[in-house]
Structure 1
Amino acid sequence: MQTRKIGSFDVTSVGLGCMNLNHAYGTPPSAEQGRELLAHALDRGVTLFDTAALYGFGANESLVGPVLAPHRDRITLCSKGGMAGVVGDDGVTRRVIDGRPATLRRNCEDSLKRLGTDVIDLYYLHRWDKSVPIEESVGEMGRLLQEGKVRALGLSEVSVETLDRAHREHPITALQSEYSLWSRNAELGTLQRCAELGIAYVAFSPLGRGFLGGILDAATLGEKDVRSAMPRFSAENYARNVRLLAPMREIAEQADCSLATLAIAWVLRQGEHVIALPGTTQRKHLDEDLRGASVKLTAEQLEALDRLFQPSAIAGHRYALQGQKEVDTEEFTVAA
């Protein structure tokens, strides 16, 4: 399989985001199904696996760790801190963004235990806690690296300005942010800045949270599915967005591939420093995603996709108001 660089790591250009196995998109699969999906990814040669303290409030790391442990010498294991589940006085676990040095250290040490490893290859700040200077958060992460608890540092969902500040404090190896045909905020600066600084751009949700696969029915999303609160998946906006799929399907037919494969192939053509990080719970969908690394798109097909998915054609923001406040990315003005 095609490989690309994340710092000193050679990884498959299509990795596996493990979030879906425990978190966010409705009812997760059973633990056994999750283990089977991870085993299939290993069999297919995937070498980049991404989890976080947040996913399932630790359950995802506990699931992923034992499966990947026998393969640690041939994979790159990534996790994230700074956003995790915290048990309140009422006994309810809630998501909390906390970038204070002591919290990041505790998050990392907890992740190491759940993953059953003595070092995390790539450790991300999941969200920048804007009440804490980015230099303080990254500085503590740098100390974790010096102590051998992590091997490289990453950031998630930050702007060019924040990336530059962090990189001056300690070299950043990867920036992970949402990037797909219908979420092109990276093109407002971070994609280019990463190329200039030699930082890998890890594109999460390259299938637009399932939209670009062409099989999602937004009307069936349950209350526990985070997409149900995202403006792009509202009934009105989704009806407008779904019109983009028919012309996209024509391009996929020309390229002799599925919509999902086409979406991955497009992401990978946006730069040699770009890594696609889809998530799935089904083996057949993983196989479609991985095929994106081998599909060759013509200049005409790429141009047609760029025209079709102009940011002005997308109805609704990526996140609802609260989620929008929690990220630090440059944003396009999109259709209301």
Structure 2
Amino acid sequence: MQKRQLGPNGPHVSAIGLGAMSFGGLFGPTDEGESFACLDAMLEVGIDFIDTANIYGMGVSETVLGKWLASRKPQVVIATKASFVADPVRRVDNSEAHLRAELEASLRRMGRDHVELFYIHRREAARPLEEVIGTLSRLIEEGKIGGYGLSEVAPYTLRAAHAIHPCRAVQNEYSLWTRQPELGLIQDCARLGVAFVPFSPLARGMLGDTALPQPTDGFRAANPRFTEPNFSANTQKINGFRAFCAARGWSVPATALAWVLSRGPHLIPIPGTRHAAHLRQWAQAVQITLSPEDLAEIERILPVGFAEGARYGDPQLLAIERYC
């Protein structure tokens, strides 16, 4: 597995990481044995970077990881996040008291005394950025975290935060059907030496070898891109990409990840799965080299802005910074 650096003075990690959201049951019932098999397969293919969060299953994902870490004792790099408060209504809290308490709880669940990367899951707009970065800087000084990250932020927040204390990584949605980070965020990460970590690089399951059935429940069922008429239109367009991949003997998810990797050496995508077979399939992305002709054809089939429907519905936009 190729390696890429996780931000300024950060560790070198596998070019592809593993998103652990589904270990918490957010995309259907989760099974500990299945999750362990997926994590074992992750090590087999050379992936050593795991991304989780305190709210994935309200601690379930981190608990599963903790049990697996204790039984396998692997050399892996872990990122986790905090900021969301679910009760009584969902809100964002970047206070020092909240971030410290949630980090300590995450460390207990995972059986660790530190994590290599700790994100604020969303920025709390009303709280001064200097205060938030000050908290994260102290956690670094205390050895609780190796570096801090920002999630779903705009370029101006990255620039301001990095000027206070160097940021290790920015995590935003990025894939063939979500290209907003190309409007300055990917470029600023490169200029500052910050890793850009695309989540949902496989378009929330749309970029698979077979067409995804229209979701009827959960997050995707309320997402504009998965409701009609958008869902059918998006499926039809992606079918053209499937034909492109099949003609070259490449799997669709591996090709989609190869495209993300081609966007810059500082990109470290974190596709999510709890299925070992899926992981082994998309991990083949590092074996695909897209030629200029391939990239031009992909752009013709799935041009920037091809997706119909917003990437989030209005109720899903809590604390997401917009910059276009």
- Band of TM-score, shorter chain: over 0.9
Structure 1 position 177 matched with structure 2 position 172? yes
Question: What residue identity is the alignment partner of 2:245?
Answer: A
TM-score, normalisation: structure 2: 0.94
What is the identity, as a one-letter code, of the residue corresponding to 2:58? Answer: F
**Structure 1 residues not aligned, in runs of 5+:** 89-93, 332-336
Deviation, 1:108, is 0.9
Percent identity, aligned pairs only, is: 35
Asked whether the 8 Å contact 2:35–2:275 carries over to 1, the reply is no
Query: How far 1:136 moved relative to its partner?
Result: 1.7
Q: Contact (CA 8 Å) 2:24, 2:59: kept in 1 or not?
A: no
1:70 to partner: Cα distance: 6.0
Match of 2:251 in 1: 258
Tell me which residue corresponds to 2:313: 320
The one-letter amino acid of 1:12's match is S
- The 3-state SS of whatever aligns with 2:116 is strand
Give the Cα–Cα distance (whole angstroms) in 2 for the partners of residues 155 and 82 of structure 1.
11
Higher strand share: 1
1:194 aligns with 2:195: no
> Which residue identity does 2:78 align to in structure 1?
L
Deviations 1:253-282 (A, max 9, x none): 243211111100000000000111100121
> Which has the larger displacement, 303-312 or 318-327?
303-312
Q: Which amino acid aligns with 2:56?
A: Y
Shift of 1:106: 1.0
What are the superposed Cα offsets for residues 73-127 of structure 1, whole Å, 9 maximum, x if unpaired?
62111100112544x4xxxxx6442112211111111111111100011111111
**Aligned partners of 2:211 and 2:239 also within 8 Å:** no
Separation of aligned partners in 2, 1:330 and 1:19: 26
Between 1:226-235 and 1:322-331, the stretch displaced more is: 322-331
Separation of aligned partners in 1, 2:119 and 2:187: 20
CA, structure 1 residues 230+328, in 2 after alignment: closer, same or farther (shift >3 Å)? Answer: same
Q: Tell me the distance in 2 between the aligned counterparts of 1:142 and 1:288.
A: 38
Query: Which of the residues 155, 159, 172 maps onto 2:154?
Result: 159
Secondary structure of 1:203's aligned partner: strand
Q: Which has the higher contact order (CA 8 A, sep 6+)?
A: 2
Q: Contact conserved, 1:79 with 1:124, CA < 8 A, in 2?
A: yes
Which one of 112, 115, 135 corresponds to residue 117 of structure 1?
Answer: 112
Distance across 2 between alignment mates of 1:146 and 1:270: 33
- In the alignment, the residues of structure 2 paired with residue 170 and residue 71 of structure 1 have an alpha-carbon distance, to the nearest angstrom, of 34
Counterpart check, 1:46 vs 2:71? no
8 Å Cα contact 1:180/1:208 also seen in 2? yes
The Cα RMSD (Å) is 1.7
Q: Report how far residue 66 of structure 1 moved.
A: 2.3
Hey, what does 1:68 align to over in structure 2? 69
Q: Judge conservation of contact 1:232–1:238 (CA < 8 Å) in 2.
A: yes
What letter matches 2:53 in structure 1? Answer: A
Deviation at 1:216, TM superposition (A): 4.6
| Structure 1 SS opposite 2:94 | coil
Confirm or deny that 1:241 pairs with 2:234: yes
- 1:132 is displaced (CA, Å) by 1.4
Displacement, 1:184?
A: 0.6
Q: Which amino acid aligns with 2:190?
A: A
Which of residues 289, 298, 323 in structure 2 aligns to 1:296? 289
Q: Aligned equivalents of 1:277 and 1:82: distance in 2?
A: 20
SS at match of 1:209: helix
Per the alignment, residue 305 of structure 1 pairs with 298
Give, in whole Å, the separation in 1 of the partners of 2:117 and 2:297. 35
Give the deviation of 1:69 after TM superposition.
4.0
Q: Distance in 1 between matches of 2:45 and 2:306?
A: 36
Provide the C-alpha distance between the structure 1 equivalents of 2:236 and 2:165, rounded to a whole number of angstroms. Answer: 44
Question: Under a length normalisation based on structure 1, what TM-score does the superposition of the two structures give?
Answer: 0.91
- Contact 1:232/1:318 (<8 A) preserved: yes
Report the CA distance between 1:246 and its aligned residue: 2.4
- What SS does structure 2 have at the residue aligned with 1:77? strand
Task: Give the deviation of 1:190 after TM superposition.
Answer: 0.3
SS of 2:58 mapped into structure 1: helix
Pairwise CA distance, 1:72: 6.0
